[in-house]
Structure 1
Amino acid sequence: MSTDILRFATAGSVDDGKSTLIGRLLYDSKSIFEDQLDAVERTSRTRGEEQTNLALLTDGLRAEREQGITIDVAYRYFATPRRTFIIADTPGHIQYTRNMVTGASTSDLAIILVDARKGLQEQSRRHAFLATLLQVPHLVLAVNKMDLVDYDQQRFEEIKQEFSAFATKLDVTDLTFIPLSALHGDNVVDRSLNMPWYDGPSLLHHLENVHIASDRNLIDVRFPVQYVIRPHKADDPELHDYRGYAGQVAGGVLKPGDEVTHLPSGLDTRIAKILTADGEVEEAFSPMSVTLLLEDDIDISRGDMICRPNNKPAVTQDVDAMICWMAESRRLTPRSKLIIKHTTRTAKAVVRDLFYRLDVNTLHRDEDATELALNEIGRVSLRGTQPLFADEYKRNRMTGGFILIDEGTNTTVAAGMIVQAG
C-alpha cells in the first residue's frame, strides 16, 4: 500500500535548528548506521562540543548544496514500524524559493520551524504561504529551542496566536502546533517531561498518525497514458492483439468492468483488466502505476487521458496559473514561447498575459509587473498548441500541475499550478 509512505518537507530560517531536528528524528528513531553516528560523535568531540551534534548528519549535504553543487533539495529516508518517511530538506533563503517549491510540490505535510526566541520571521510566513500555494494538505508549526525560553508556555501561546492570525489569510486545511527542543529531544520522538502543560503528540507520533489517505482525490478518475504496450510476438497468438496502456493513476479508483471515456476522441469503452508488475489487480488508485487493457480497440497514444464519461477534466488550450519562475538566464514576459509538460502531454505554449507578480512575504499583488525573474511568483495565462486535459490544482495536484521548459536549452524554467482551466 502506498499510504504508509509519508512525504514531508522541512523549512525554516537559517539557525532555526532544522538540521538538528532531522538529525534527532534519524537518531532517536534508530535510522542511522553506527558508522555514521561514530563519525558524527568523533567530529563533535574534535570541535570540542559537549554533546553529539546531530546537525552534522544533514549538514554535509547542505554544504555541497550551498556551494552550487547539484543537490538542490536534500532527500532523507527513514522508517518506523508504522510508516516510511521521505524528508525533503529545503533551504530557507528567499533565493532558494524554487527549491522549496520543488520539495513541497510532492509533500503530504510541511514542517515550518520557528525559533522560540525570535518568533515568526518573514521567512516563516513565506514558507507557510508556499506550502499552502502548493496545496500541501498538512502543516506543522514546530516551535523549536523551547529550552532557551525555559519551556515557557506563554511564549509558545504567543507564537501560536500570531501564526494562527496569519494563517487565516491562507488556504490551510490542517494546522498543528508542537513545542519542542531538537537539541535535547523534547517532543521530537518522545513526549517531553519539561513541558507538562502541552498535552498534544510528539512530532514523530504526529507524523506516524496523520491521516493522509483521504488527501488523494478518489472521486475524479484520471489516467494520463504514458506508454502504449504492443508486444508484437507473432509466435504467441495470445499476444497478437495485445494492447496495454501504461501510466500512473492520477485520481479516482479504476476497476475492471468500469465504463471509461478516452480523450481527446470522446469514445467510450470499458476496462477489461488492470495489470501491475505483480500481476492482475481488482482496483487501482493514485499513485499506483498500472497497465490498463480496454474492451474496444481505440486509437490511443501517449499524452491522452482516460476518465469517466460523466466526469471529465477540462479539455482546453487556455489555462490561468500561478507560476514560480526558476530560470536565472531568462525572465518570463508576455509572449514568451515555451514548452509545457502537463501530465504525460508535451506541447508548445505562449504566455498570453502576466496578471500580477505576488510578493511572497506580504502577499501583495503587483499588477504593474511586466516580467517574472528567478524565484518570483505570479499569475499568468497560457495558450498551448494542443488541448490539455486539466483540472484546477486545488482539486488534483497531478492534473493541475505542470512545468515549463525552455525550447532552446531544454531546461525547466518554471513550475505551475492551474487556477482556472478553459
Structure 2
Amino acid sequence: MTETCRRAVRGVLLAACIVLLAGAAANAAVLKHKQTGEKLQGTLTDQVISGMTLFNLDDGGTRFLKMEEWDVVQADAPAPTTADAPAAPAAEDSAAAAADDTARKYKVYVIPISGAIESMALSAAVKRGLDEAKRWKADVVVFRMDTPGGALHVANAIVDSIQSVDWARVVAWVNGGEDRALSAGAFICLSCEEIYMSPGTTIGAATPYRMVQGSAEVEEKMQSAFRARFRALSEKHGIPAPLADAMVDSSTSVIQVFVEGQQKFVSEEEAKQLATDHKGTDKFRRGKTVSQQGKILTMTANEALEYKLIKGLAADMPGLMEVMDIDSYQAKEADWLTGWVEKTSKLNKDKFEKLRAEFNSQMKLAQQNDPMMNVYSFSDGGKRWREYSNLCLKHLKKCADALKQIEAMAKDESADVHVQDEMINDLKTNLNTLYQRVNANKNRTTP
C-alpha cells in the first residue's frame, strides 16, 4: 500500500475516533495492535460509542476498539486526508519502523493449568504468575490448558485475575497430556481474548461444581449466575452465544445453518422456521446438528475451529506463534507453578488436619473429665469434683481455640477448607452448652 494511501486511511480513522460521520461507508481493513501485535481483519464502521469504534470481524463477532491503539496495515480504498490527520512519516522512516517491528522479539509468558481445578492455591499461583509476567514486560500471556475442570469458586477467582490484565494479549491454548479443557477449564478459556487448540483436543462441558453444596435454591442461583457470566464472556470475545449456552445448559439445542452464505447457530425451532421462511430459495441451508437437547456440548478442536469458537490450531509453541502472526519471540514459562500449588495446598490441608485432630483429642479429654461422667463420693468436700471440672473446662477451652481457627480457615477461600457453616455452628453450640453446665457447677461441695 502506498504512503499516500496509508496517510489517507489514518486520517479517516483518527477523525472517526472523534466524531460519528453521518452516512460514512464501512471500509474493509486489517488492523494491528501497536503494543501486542495482534491483528484483526474485518470491516471498520462509522459507529462510535464512548470513544470506541465498532469493528466487525470477518470470522464473526464484533469488537469496540480505541483506534489510537491500532495501526491500519491494509485498507480497501484510500480516503481524503483531513485537517485532523497527522502527517505521515517519510517512506524511509516507515520502512525503518517496519524493520524494527519485524526484528523485535515478543515476550511470551506461559502459565500452565493442568489437572483438576480444586485448590485456591492455583488461583493465587495464577495471580503470582501474572504479576511476574507484568514485571517481565510480557507482550503475550498464554494459558496452556489441560484440565478436566473443577470447582467454580477457584475458576471464578482465576477469571477475575485474567480479566484484570490490560497490559498484554491474553490467550488460551488447549494442549497437554490429557488433551482437554472441560468444565471450569472451558470457563477460563472463554475469559481469554483468543482460544487456540492442539489437534485432537476437546473443549466444553462447562459444568463446574462447588466444594460445599447448599440448598437447591442456592445451587440454582449459583448456576444461573455462572451461566450469565459464561455467556457474557463469550459475547465479549465474539464467540457465538448459542455455543456458549450449549456448553453450560443441556436444555438447549444448537443447529448450524447458513443464511445467504453466512454461518449462524440457532435452536431446532429457529432452524425449522428459517427453513419455512426461505422455502423454494437457495438463501438457506441447514448444516450440522451441533448439540442435541439433553446433552452438554463438547467440541473437538476441528469442530471448534469450524464453528469459530477458536482462532486456530497449533500442535506446539512454534505453531502457536505462527498462527498468532508472531514471527520472533522469547518464551518464559511459570515452571514453578505446579509444584508451588501442590506444596501450598498440602500445607493448608496439613494445618487443617492438625486442628481437626486437636479438636477431637481435646473434646475426648473434656468428656472423660466431665464430673457428671465420673463416680466418687463428696466426703472430700467436693475436691475431686472441682478437679474434674477444672480439667474439663481446660480441655473445652482448647477445643474452642481449635474450632476458632478451623472456622477462620473455612471462611478464607485461599485456605481450601471446606466445612459447612451449619456443622461449625452445631459444634459451637454443643461446646458452649457443655462449658456452661460444667462452669456453673464446678464449685459444688455436695451431690
User: Which TM-score applies when normalising by structure 2?
Assistant: 0.22
- TM-score normalised to structure 1 length: 0.23
> Hey, which of these two has a bigger chunk of strand by percent?
1
